[in-house]
Structure 1
Amino acid sequence: MIVKRSVAISGHATSISVEDRFWDELRRIAGRRDLPIAAMIADIDAARDPATNLSSAIRLFVLDDALAHRAGD
């Protein structure tokens, strides 16, 4: 299920819409890196291609992390 969530990044509120599984995994990644979820999202936002919306960038970030960890197995 896609859920719209509000977060504050770089001092302004924004909303993102991602599926629960992506959100849960993003929270796990943030925890593993000892970062607040908002800081993780701010990092993703800063690194994304301007042509890619933030929700898609989050999904791609989570996918890239999963693939990187799978390759290490």
Structure 2
Amino acid sequence: MSRHLRKRSLILAGHDTSVALEPAFWAVLERMIAHQHITLVQLVTQVDAQRAPDQSLASALRVSALEWLEQQVETHMRTPSP
């Protein structure tokens, strides 16, 4: 998988914005929106509303993706194997 940043343009709160992330993070975000049955804009809006004032949107999205993956791993580890 390419390590180059991929940029996506979004409209958040009526403003054009763009976010550049590595493809691996976009892949996790896509899994998150599929799991939560929401759109990418809805997810980004949620993350944007919760991020610290000094944190970039890209950084907040990366952290959210990692936290979601950690939660998935924890859930998987608690589920008994057949």
Flag the structure with more relative contact order, 1 or 2, with Cα contacts below 8 A and sequence separation at least 6. Answer: 1
Highest CA radius of gyration, 1 or 2? 2
Residue aligning to 2:6: 3
Mapped partners of 2:15, 2:45: distance in 1? 11
Residue aligning to 2:79: none
Q: Quote how far apart the aligned CAs of 1:62 are.
A: 0.2
Residue aligning to 1:15: 18
Instruction: Point out where structure 2 has 5 or more consecutive residues left out of the alignment.
Output: 77-82
Instruction: Point out where structure 1 has 5 or more consecutive residues left out of the alignment.
Output: none
TM-score, normalising length: structure 2 = 0.84
Question: Whose strand fraction is larger, Structure 1's or Structure 2's?
Answer: 1
Mapped partners of 1:50, 1:71: distance in 2? 29
Runs of 4+ in 1 over 6 A off after TM superposition: none
Q: Kindly, what percent of the aligned residue pairs are identical?
A: 29
TM-score, normalising length: structure 1 = 0.93
